[in-house]
Structure 1
Amino acid sequence: MKRILFVLLLLGLGACSEPDLPEGILDEEKMVELLIDLHLAEGLTSTFPIPFDSARVLYPYLENEVFRKHQIPDSVFHESLLYYMTDLRKINRMYERTIDSLNVKEKLRNP
């Protein structure tokens, strides 16, 4: 009887695990790291005392620097974002983590 319960428990745990990600899709942790840095770059761009048109030219440069920092091609990020956007719970969870991390960074910067 104990063996049957143990096997059922293992099967239940296996059924609850995350399915393998398709090839070329970043995991949630890496996506959150990228989203944090991309939003920081966007925020930095908006703080510069430059016209909007100039900021639109500057942001892609900063965005590319984020991808270079993480050694991720922008195409992989965009494909991963499209993948996660098909599951609202996952993308919401990732953005909640992103916002929480940005709030912590802001509090540490402005005690």
Structure 2
Amino acid sequence: MKRILLAFLFLVFSFSCDSDRTPSGVLSEDEVVNVLIDIQLTEGMVGALPISYDSSQVLYALMEKEIFIKHGVEDSVFVNSMRYYLEDARKMDQIYSRVIDSLVVRESNPAKKEDLF
């Protein structure tokens, strides 16, 4: 009886360890961070342009498509990934902390400009 109980507990424990893996169809945290960095940079660039709000929305939509093409991601996959990570506040906090840290590093190193596209 003890062996059966130990085997059952071992199986339960081994399956629970795999719960940190992301399901299929969801981007990894690293991929989400990279896409979000480019989205934040694009929003900043478009927001700084001296154009009307309507024009900026059209321009942003075009640039957003380019971001997804650059990263090889469909917008629906990105949206599903964001929904998945938003279910866990701790993970989402870690993701945005990484995004903010990356943006701060880029801001503090102006000589090392990276192409957005």
Q: CA deviation at 1:19?
A: 2.3
**More moved, 80-89 vs 44-53:** 44-53
Pick closer, same or farther for the CA change 1:18–1:101 going to 2, 3 Å: farther
SS state at 1:84 partner: helix
Query: Once the 2 structures are TM-superposed, how far is the Cα of residue 45 of structure 1 from its aligned partner?
Result: 0.5
TM-score by length of 1: 0.82
Q: Please state if 1:89 is matched with 2:97.
A: no
Cα separation, 1, equivalents of 2:80 and 2:23: 11
Cα 1:109–1:17, aligned 2, differ >3 Å: closer, same or farther? Answer: farther
- What is the percentage of aligned positions where both structures have the same residue? 43
**What pairs with 1:1-111 in structure 2 (closer than 5 Å)?**
19-109=20-110
> Which TM-score applies when normalising by structure 2?
0.78
Q: Take 1:65 and 1:49, find their aligned partners in 2: how far apart are those partners? A: 21
* 1:104 maps to amino acid: V
Between the aligned partners of 1:103 and 1:33, the Cα distance in structure 2 is: 14
Aligned residues: CA RMSD:
2.3
- Structure 1 unaligned spans of 5+: 1-11
Q: Distance in 2 between matches of 1:36 and 1:16?
A: 30
Number of equivalenced pairs: 101
Instruction: Tell me the amino acid that sits aligned with residue 87 of structure 2.
Output: T
Structure 2 vs 1, CA of residues 41 and 91 (structure 1 numbering), >3 Å: closer, same or farther? same
Task: Measure how far apart 1:52 and its partner are.
Answer: 1.2
Secondary structure of the structure 1 residue equivalent to 2:70: helix
1:63-99 superposed Cα distances (whole Å, 9 cap, x missing partner): 0000000010000000000000000000011001001
Q: Which 4+ stretches in 1 moved above 4 angstroms?
A: 14-18
Whole-angstrom distance in 2 between the partners of 1:23 and 1:17: 13
Task: Give the unaligned 5+ runs of structure 2.
Answer: 1-12, 112-117
